[in-house]
Amino acid sequence: MMYLIDLARDSDGSVLATCRSFPELTTFGKDKDEASHHAIGALEEAIAARIADGDPLPRPATLAELKKHKGLMVKLPLMTSLKAHLYMTLKASGVSRAELARRLGWHREQVDRLFRLDHSSRLDQLEAAFAALHQNLDVRVTERNVA
């Protein structure tokens, strides 16, 4: 999952990072690299807060949007992406967490941990949750562009 981050030079010389998809996200760094690093953390915090509040998550950037964007593109860590996708899938399905727990034969607390970004969920648990929502989990490895 990738989100677009806008960078702007602040009056004190630091680099300000904001995200149109997450208006609550504002962070900075002394340069572009530091602002990028802080933006990933701020993005994860914004996603975690929305999940905790039961609010919808904005869709990630499309390929067309990525190609046109002149600013920073932040790629979420794999586990964060999986948990965010699971959350969006659950919301779209209309299935409650309690119903997901019933389908999986798990305790509700086990299901709740799948949506906590600070919890190290196992991949097989996430795969089972997606399957219970009639979704397949697939992995794709792509070559990384090195500049």
pLDDT tens readout for residues 14-30:
999 999 999 999 999 99
- pLDDT given at position 147: 60
β-strand 15-18 against 26-29: which pairing, if any?
antiparallel
Is the per-residue pLDDT at 146 higher than 70? no
Shared domain for 54 and 99, answered yes or no, is: no
Shared domain for 69 and 95, answered yes or no, is: no
Of the candidates 75, 105, 122, which is a domain's last residue?
75
pTM of the model: 0.89
**137 is a domain residue:** no
- pLDDT given at position 53: 96
**19 is a domain residue:** yes
Length of the chain: 147
Shared domain for 6 and 26, answered yes or no, is: yes
Average pLDDT, the chain: 94
Residue 79 and residue 142: Cα distance in Å, rounded? 17
Is the per-residue pLDDT at 9 higher than 80? yes
Shared domain for 100 and 113, answered yes or no, is: yes
How far is C-alpha 5 from the chain's CA centre?
A: 14
Of the candidates 75, 95, 118, which is a domain's last residue?
75
Is the per-residue pLDDT at 45 higher than 80? yes
Range of the domain at 92: 78-132
The per-residue pLDDT for range 69-106, each reduced to its tens digit, is 988 898 899 999 999 999 999 999 999 999 999 999 99
